[in-house]
Amino acid sequence: MPQIRPCVDFLITQKCNYRCEYCSQSKKFYTNTKAASDETIEAFLNFIKTLDKTFEITISGGEPLTHPRFFGVIEEIKKQNLKLTVISNFSYPIENYKKIADIMGQNLKELFVSYHSTQVKNLEEFKSKAKEFNSYKANSTNFSIASVLTDENTTALKELSVFLKENNINFCLQHMRIKNSYVEYKKEAAEFLSQNAAPEPGRISNSFGKLCHSGEKFLLIYENGDAYRCYSSRFNKAHSMGNIKNKNFKLFNGPMPCINSRCTCPKPISYNMLDFKHSNYIKATGLLIKNAIYLPSLMIKNFDILKAKFEQGLVFKKK
């Protein structure tokens, strides 16, 4: 099995200064605009002090730079000599991203930013900022730009992809998902996607019952401190790891079976967490039964998310 990349993802805020139509975190679809409290921040910083130095930290949101303690948090991550990835919409002035690079130095693993065609007024200014940061960052820092493909932005993304290739900047074309389902594109967009984006591994591999190290080597922490095994775990009671502010929080002691038919979380496969050679179908079935018992309460707890996805789907149906 390839070497695992241990990682902690911290969604420091749900707030975002963009209003992308296809994003369920947009204020139009999602009413939770809370950010991590000082108590949650302190619990997170205390937690990362217990990690070994093989762990990487990813800070995202929402838009993480909207959080008033963002720079203080990454300074503490640097003090712990941990690697950092920041996921941003790249909407802030270039000085903010240079400051991230200055604070983290060689410890900045990656700046992963996005281009949203309906939110960025001037593509040329965006390209100029991207080129400037790419020249400024440390050689060891990966710089990637992602964009969600739509039928309407195909022409702009074709232009952007050529520019990024010429400037040795990673381009990540993303297939738009609505209510967890991938949309179908018209011919031009579909051809562009097929030429520039490989199918996500989780879409073509059955993961049910396969042992996975998420929860042991990877976890997701939300702005309220709730911790989960992976991004597909909010409706899985068996995958909850408690809250980092409480005594009930703890990492798993070893790999656990996946209870999803497909891995929809971006980290387990790409970070080598999922072990396709070893399975425990009996335990996976038991966990499914446990989740079925708790599902009504989990749906109530996450009602705002379900409502957001439903409204999002209605908006796109109207289009």
Handedness of CA 111, 312, 196, 153 (dihedral sign): negative
> Per-residue pLDDT tens for 7-18?
999 999 988 888
**pLDDT in the model for residue 35:** 94
Residue 270 has pLDDT above 70, yes or no: yes
- pTM of the predicted model, to two decimals? 0.89
Average pLDDT rounded to a whole number, residues 79-91 = 97
The 10 Å Cβ neighbour count of residue 181 is 9
Residue 318 has pLDDT above 60, yes or no: no
Banded model confidence at residue 289, pLDDT cuts 50, 70, 90: confident
**pLDDT in the model for residue 179:** 62
Domains annotated on the chain, with CATH: 7-318 (3.20.20)
> Per-residue pLDDT tens for 115-132?
999 999 899 999 999 999
Q: How far apart are CA 173 and CA 148, in angstroms?
A: 6
Residue 290 has pLDDT above 90, yes or no: no
Q: Is-contact 277 146, C-beta < 8 A?
A: no
The 10 Å Cβ neighbour count of residue 87 is 20
**pLDDT in the model for residue 309:** 60
Residue 55 has pLDDT above 80, yes or no: yes
**pLDDT in the model for residue 298:** 64
Q: Distance between terminal CA atoms of the chain? A: 45
> Per-residue pLDDT tens for 223-267?
999 999 988 766 677 788 999 999 899 999 999 999 888 887 778
**pLDDT in the model for residue 233:** 67
**pLDDT in the model for residue 296:** 72
179 three-class SS: coil
**pLDDT in the model for residue 29:** 44
Q: How far apart are CA 59 and CA 26, in angstroms?
A: 18
